[in-house]
Structure 1
Amino acid sequence: MNVTVVVADDHALMRAGLVALLSAAPGVDVVGEAGDGRRAVELAATLHPDVVLMDVRMPVLDGIAATRLIVGSSPEQQPRVLMLTTFDSPEYVYTALGVGASGFLLKDTPPDRIASAVRTVAAGDMLITPVITRDLVETYARHHRALALGRSRLGPLTNRETDVLRLVAAGLSNADIADRLVLSEATVKTHVKRIMQKLGVSSRAQAVVLAYESGLVVPRGGTADDGVPPAAARRRRPSGALGSGAGAR
């Protein structure tokens, strides 16, 4: 049985070329074409193709949003989506694969490989062009090298100092940290001073930045492990992590 395909691309010339290419490929039938993401979703729902060859950037509804809707349809008749684009940014790839795309190709992929890719994803496999795979690996490696470097800078800190830095980065004042860790405020101030010395930073703000860069805290306003007690949260100053005055020294 032939693989059925819907081609979605807002550029008429590109779309016509893809339709001609796939129509001439053995074992592949083009059953529809769309010039925007919304139309691609409609055709996927009515024609139930095996594969939707989807451009990333399209009007009305972009390819990633359209993919999310298509993949979220009935599992019994769910087409597979193969993304095709000139954009090779890792962010596009992460997002597309995250919403359920089965593959990602660049538009300069040789014609015979595009037809082969359609068959591959129709068979249930995932396909990512080699250059994109390399970029993903390099991005992953850079990210983890950065985290490793940040964590190595945190190495001199004691467990207690690490706890204090985590709470400083979460936005707690020295008084709140003292309540949280059952310490005196003077002791917390001493810990903060030693943290800054060990990290080689001259301000509380720089220590907070390093805490985020090292992965000690997550970039969502909270710490990497748990939240702030309600009582402490109520007393938190808006500029607790970066504030001036006694709490920031």
Structure 2
Amino acid sequence: MPVPILIAQSNYLIREGIKSLIINYKEYIFKGEALSSEDLLFLINSFDNGVVIIDHNDPAFGISTIRKAKAIAPGVHFLSISDKPNRWMLSDAIAAGITSYLLRDCDKNEFIEAIEATARGEQFFCGKILTDVLKFTDEVSLETEFISCEGVKISNRETEIISLISDGLSNKQIAEKLFLSVHTVTTHRKKIMSKLGVNNTAGLVLFAIKNNIVSPNHLLFNTN
């Protein structure tokens, strides 16, 4: 069944640009457009599932509109396409009910991936935003190139270790938690990094986010 799409955008050219992309895919069905918060809150009453594509920084909408819309239709997922946020802006957007976030200069493939993930209720953040999210961890330097996860097989144990690394645990702490030797954890870590073609912890965390092993929301609010 096609995913219903509602566009909330006051700018005519942006609205038409998004619409022109959507209508080329049979997986999606355009259900309407909102030019203001009043329009959105009216339309959302008959839109109990699907994806709302919105610029929550558009003066015609705003964070408060997202909260009100989610209260009316909790099954609807929001994909925001807006300016580059700082840490607090992104935190506020997520807390208000934004599921996914893209920058306005994202490419078509990233846009379609974001809609697909958002329709499933999964968070999706464009690469440029993920880079900023990763700067909140203890490794500011991100030397990884684009990570392709196609064809990479990660075992349950490796997934568990990636998750713990993303939580900021050292090899010794992971070993104690999983009842393994430090040597075994170190070996697992090296094999994982080799599989993924990454050189540092930031690359592992990026993989974890892209594959829903950890949530970007978790990283944003993790103060450890």
TM-score (norm 1): 0.52
**Deviation readout 1:13-68 (Å, 9 max, x if unpaired):** 00100011111123011101112233222212223340101102223431x22211
**Equivalent AA in structure 1 for residue 21 of structure 2:** L
Task: Classify 1:74/1:55 alpha carbon distance in 2 versus 1 (closer, same or farther; 3 Å).
Answer: closer
Instruction: Work out which of the residue numbers 81, 90, 103 in structure 1 matches 2:78.
Output: 81
**Equivalent AA in structure 2 for residue 136 of structure 1:** V
- Counterpart of 1:121 in structure 2 is 118
Residues 1-249 of structure 1 aligned to structure 2 (within 5 Å): 1-62=1-62, 64-75=63-74, 78-139=75-136, 141=138
> Does the Cα contact within 8 Å between 2:8 and 2:40 map onto a contact in 1?
yes
> Does the Cα contact within 8 Å between 1:2 and 1:29 map onto a contact in 2?
yes
Q: Tell me which protein shows more helix as a share of its residues.
A: 1
> Does the Cα contact within 8 Å between 2:49 and 2:73 map onto a contact in 1?
no
Alpha-carbon RMSD: 2.1
Using the alignment, how far apart are the partners of 2:73 and 2:11 within structure 1?
29
- Counterpart of 1:186 in structure 2 is none
Using the alignment, how far apart are the partners of 2:33 and 2:73 within structure 1?
21
> Does the Cα contact within 8 Å between 2:110 and 2:126 map onto a contact in 1?
no
**Equivalent AA in structure 2 for residue 61 of structure 1:** F
Using the alignment, how far apart are the partners of 1:60 and 1:27 within structure 2?
29
SS at match of 1:96: helix
Give the aligned length.
140
Flag the structure with more relative contact order, 1 or 2, with Cα contacts below 8 A and sequence separation at least 6: 2
> Does the Cα contact within 8 Å between 2:9 and 2:54 map onto a contact in 1?
yes
**Equivalent AA in structure 1 for residue 29 of structure 2:** D
Cα drift, residue 140 of structure 1: 5.2
Cα drift, residue 141 of structure 1: 4.5
- Counterpart of 1:182 in structure 2 is none
SS at match of 2:79: strand
> Does the Cα contact within 8 Å between 2:47 and 2:76 map onto a contact in 1?
no
**Deviation readout 1:136-192 (Å, 9 max, x if unpaired):** 2214549xxxxxxxxxxxxxxxxxxxxxxxxxxxxxxxxxxxxxxxxxxxxxxxxxx
Using the alignment, how far apart are the partners of 1:98 and 1:141 within structure 2?
24
TM-score (norm 2): 0.57
Residue ranges of structure 1 left out of the alignment (5+ in a row): 143-249
Give identity over the alignment, percent: 21
Task: Classify 1:136/1:32 alpha carbon distance in 2 versus 1 (closer, same or farther; 3 Å).
Answer: same
Using the alignment, how far apart are the partners of 1:90 and 1:23 within structure 2?
33
- Counterpart of 1:189 in structure 2 is none
Task: Classify 1:100/1:141 alpha carbon distance in 2 versus 1 (closer, same or farther; 3 Å).
Answer: farther
Residue ranges of structure 2 left out of the alignment (5+ in a row): 140-224
Cα drift, residue 130 of structure 1: 1.8
